Amino acid sequence: MPCFGSRDRSCCRDAASQGLSVHPLGAALPPAGPRRSALTVARSFSAAANPPHCSPQGDHCSPLGSTSEGSFGYCAKWSNGVTEPQPGIDTTTPQSPRVWNYWLGGKDNYEVDRQVGDEVIAMTPQLPKLARESRRFLIRAVEYLAGEVGIRQFLDIGTGLPTADNTHQVAQRVAPESKIVYVDNDPVVLAHARALLVGTPQGVTRYLDEDLYAPERILRDAGKTLDLNQPVALMLMGILGHVADWDQAKAIVRELVSGLPSGSYLTTCDSTNVHDTEAMDRAASIYNAAASPRIHLRRPWHFTELVTELGLEAVAPGAVPVTQWGVAEDQLVPRPEPIDEYGVVARKP
């Protein structure tokens, strides 16, 4: 199990204390490459009660905003230039990918998404931070998988709307020949993915219109692009929290992992209600009253149980707040304040 920046391997002991198998891979994660400024320059979040001013001519305002220049708090036109909803897109009910896109500072969301996003932020200001840190976790995990481990195939289910540093961009920066298959069934996500998520000439980027609840079909169709006899990195970022029944969520992941060979990896993260239980429960209640699909907060033991029951080997430090995964020890002093977004990376032996 690699211990990031740790000579005393204490992070391995942390993972072992969770009852997780220890994955005996090589040395520490090498220093990460340069991050995009939008994800590294994090200014303090201004309260939702005082959002930046937006003009009435159809501009859209993001309270946390991240642009390619790294600024936070901005007003911008729709990135796709569309002013009228596309056919088949529900603009009357907030949708999870669009709300998440709003919290990340994206421009591909509707007024109904921004309204519920602001309501949740007003009650729980840490939500935009969770969104940003979840994306940073994805970046570090993919850099580790493509760089340290040498994975060249990624299956990303629950893609979400494109922002900066998507899975294929991170993987193909490390290894341009990487193949990525994105899976989602939200029409807005698919439309934007096909238009914006363009890979390198050496690699492959494909998109499947499929549902998480159909793992057999996902594997069948992904196998037309990926070689499922070779290791695959399965990415389930923030999607299992939309499955109400935890046993059903585990069964879905079990079927997906069973279709992948030894040496494959599972990376997953979801929101929890451990460190600020009252605020997170309240935020989930507000969100679920208006948005779809519903969110179900997890506990750290859910991640540990998933890894253990599937017979996987957790990469150190195991199931932890995403701010603590893949970060060198000298960057953990002072230790970052725990946040209610947990993640884990695990290897199929």
DSSP annotation string for 40-62:
H--PPPPPTTSPPP--SSS-EEE
Tally Cβ neighbours within 10 Å of residue 181: 26
pLDDT band, residue 17 (cuts 50/70/90): low
Is 289 within a domain?
yes
Is residue 14 a part of any domain in this protein? Answer: yes
What one-character-per-residue DSSP string does 246-259 give?
Answer: HHHHHHHHHHHHHT
Q: What is the mean pLDDT of residues 289-297?
A: 86
Residue 101 has a pLDDT of 79
Q: For residue 222, what is the domain's CATH number?
A: 3.40.50.150
How far is residue 171's CA from residue 217's CA, in Å, rounded to a whole number?
24
Domain range for 337 is: 10-37+129-347
Binning pLDDT at 50, 70 and 90, where does residue 21 land?
A: low
Among 35-44, 130-139, 189-198, the range scoring the smallest mean pLDDT is 35-44
User: How many structural domains comprise the chain?
Assistant: 1
pLDDT, tens digit, for every residue of 147-163? 999 999 999 999 877 67
Whether the per-residue pLDDT at 318 is higher than 50: the answer is: yes
User: Quick check: 34 pLDDT over 60?
Assistant: no
Residue 102 forms part of a structural domain: no
The answer on pLDDT for 115 being more than 80 is yes
Domain-embedded: residue 72: no
Query: Considering only CA atoms, which of 23, 20, 3, 22 is closest in space to residue 301?
Result: 20
Question: What b/e readout covers 328-349, taking b as 16+ CB neighbours within 10 angstroms?
Answer: ebeebeeeeebbbbbbbbbbbe
112, 181, 319 from 194: Cα distances, Å: 24, 12, 33
- Asked whether the predicted pLDDT for residue 96 surpasses 70, the reply is yes
Q: Is the pLDDT of residue 109 over 60?
A: yes
Q: How much is the average pLDDT of 72-95?
A: 49
On average, the pLDDT of the chain sits at 76
Share of the chain above pLDDT 70, in %: 71
- Of 17-21, 116-120, 237-241, the poorest mean pLDDT is in 17-21
Give strand ranges (E) for the chain: 21-22, 60-62, 74-76, 153-157, 179-184, 204-209, 233-237, 265-271, 313-314, 320-321, 341-347
Asked which of 222-231, 239-248, 336-345 is least confident by mean pLDDT, the reply is: 336-345
**Dihedral angle sign, alpha carbons of residues 241, 181, 36, 161:** negative
Query: Which string of DSSP letters, residue by residue, matches 109-126?
Result: --HHHHHHHHHHHHH-TT
**Residue 15 counted as domain residue:** yes
Residue, of 161 and 49, whose pLDDT is higher: 161
Question: What Cα–Cα distance (Å) separates residue 184 from each residue in 70, 100, 161?
Answer: 28, 14, 10
CA distance 7 to 322: 21
pLDDT value, residue 220: 98
The model's pLDDT over 189-203, given as tens digits with 9 standing for 90+, comes to 777 777 666 788 899
CB 139 within 8 A of CB 39: yes
Residue 123 forms part of a structural domain: no
Q: Is 256 or 90 the better-scoring residue by pLDDT?
A: 256
SS3 130: helix
pTM: 0.72
The whole-angstrom separation of Cα 346 and Cα 342 is: 14
Model pLDDT, residue 15: 56
Average pLDDT on 297-318 reads: 97
CB 195 within 8 A of CB 80: yes
Q: Is the Cα torsion angle 26, 204, 251, 286 positive or negative in sign? A: positive
Residue at 82 is within a domain? no
Of 302 and 38, which is predicted with more confidence? Answer: 302
Residue 230, judged by CB atoms within 10 A of its CB (0-12, 13-18, 19+), counts as middle
The answer on pLDDT for 229 being more than 70 is yes
Residue 185 falls inside a structural domain: yes
